[in-house]
Structure 1
Amino acid sequence: MTTPEQVAAENAMRMHDPRVADIRGRMLDVSGLDDAEIAHVVAVLDAVRDWRVAESRMSEASRRYMNLGDNDMRALRYIIVVTDRGEVATATGIAEHLGISSAATTKLLDRLERGEHIRRLPHPSDRRSVSIVIDDATRRAAQATVGREHARRFHVAAALSPAERDVVIRFLTELSRTTESDWS
């Protein structure tokens, strides 16, 4: 059973609840909403927070399991997708996908190669380039972690009706726009 103190402590941590974080209404006017509506909005924001926490935990667990950083994991995923399409993964493609310099890409590939996650092989049609091939064990590990998690997420989204998906898309798109800076 949850004690009143535990409820109070949990509510105090809801920094996205205007009744907690903005009691004087300096940042947000909620005068047009009753308490039940505010609580419902906060429940949506709680769910977003919970998703971010779960996503962060899963990403961290995958990185720890494979002993890799974010860009390393993103590069491996890119290599898997490109090669599964029957295309050749290259350093240039990885750099463009990650939005990093060629020097940073070289360091990333050196690190992945030292960890035996990838191999650099001659490009099948361009003598000036090399192809990047993922190690079979790394592919299996990535599919068992990130791939399995992606499949679960896909099934959750697929279980929604088209109208529900449209609401989620609209909400997340608008939520993403709130991070656009007015300072730039």
Structure 2
Amino acid sequence: MVSRKAPGEARVVLHDPVRLDPDQEIVRRSHLSDEDLAGIVGVLDAMHRWREAERRMNEASRRYMKLGDTDMRALRMLIAAQRQGMVVTPGLIAAHLGISSASTTKLLDRLEAGRHVTRAPHPTDRRSLAIEVTEETRRVARESVGRSHARRFDVVAGLSPSERGAVTAFFEAMTETAQPDADDVA
């Protein structure tokens, strides 16, 4: 199993079914060689390291911008939508984040108080507002989150077309594992 720890540092094993499920009650693995099992655990460990690195990066961005996770998700959506020439309304933000209109109003109040967004009359619907990210927030996001995204893009661009296809299929299959089975719901 891949181990990334400092000498003498205790490490909790998170993905090795040999240690976590020795009786194969959940993870059937008797058909796998030791080499295959080590490779599978290596992929799961690499995914865990990626999730942790992503979590730390997101946390650093939130702290730097003094924002919560939902606020950052809203800003990312606003920046992307504005780049695509879309007029973003509070309703669109609420739908994107899966929150109520009251929660959206509070979110926009926070973002406006922090000088991250502005509210203006909608250009074609006088009953609605257009929400825009301020230039300063756009610049800060571009320098932090944007640069990180560019580095990830470069990594993916370095893959061959068949490798990108395999990675895409892998992530789509992994996404399916996050959907509840009928057995999980019962």
- After TM superposition, the score normalised by the length of structure 2 is 0.89
**Where do residues 55-94 of structure 1 align in structure 2 (5 Å cutoff)?**
55-94=54-93
- 1:11-22 to structure 2, matched below 5 A, reads 13-22=12-21
Deviation at 1:80, TM superposition (A): 1.3
Give the AA of the match of 2:132.
V
Match in the other structure for 2:106: 107
**Pairing of 1:136-147 with structure 2 (within 5 A):** 136-147=135-146
- C-alpha root-mean-square deviation of aligned residues, in Å? 1.9
Which residue is equivalent to 2:132?
133
CA-CA distance at 1:156 after TM superposition: 0.9
Residues 21 and 78 of structure 1, relative CA distance in 2, 3 Å threshold:
same
Matched, 1:153 2:152: yes
Q: How many Å separate the matches in 1 of 2:16 and 2:10?
A: 13
Cα offset for 1:25? 2.2
Letter in 1 for 2:154: H
Question: 1:39 Cα deviation (Å)?
Answer: 0.7
Listed as ranges, the gaps of 5+ residues in structure 1 are none
* 1:178 paired to 2:148: no
1:21 to partner: Cα distance: 0.9
Aligned residue for 2:130, secondary structure, equals: strand
SS at match of 1:181: coil
CA distance in 2, matches of 1:78, 1:36: 43
CA distance in 1, matches of 2:117, 2:9: 51
Where does the alignment leave 5 or more consecutive residues of structure 2 unmatched? none
Stretch deviating more after TM superposition (100-109 or 126-135):
126-135
Question: Taking structure 1 as reference, are residues 107 and 120 closer, same or farther at Cα in structure 2, changes over 3 Å only?
Answer: same
Q: Which residue of 2 aligns with 1:42?
A: 41
Identify which range, 80-89 or 165-174, moves more after superposition.
80-89
TM-score (norm. length: structure 1): 0.90
Residue 15 of structure 1: how far off its partner (Å): 2.1
Deviation of residue 29 (structure 1)? 2.3
Which amino acid in the other structure matches residue 50 of structure 1? R
CA distance in 1, matches of 2:48, 2:85: 38
- Percent of residue pairs bearing the same amino acid type: 51
Match of 2:162 in 1: 163
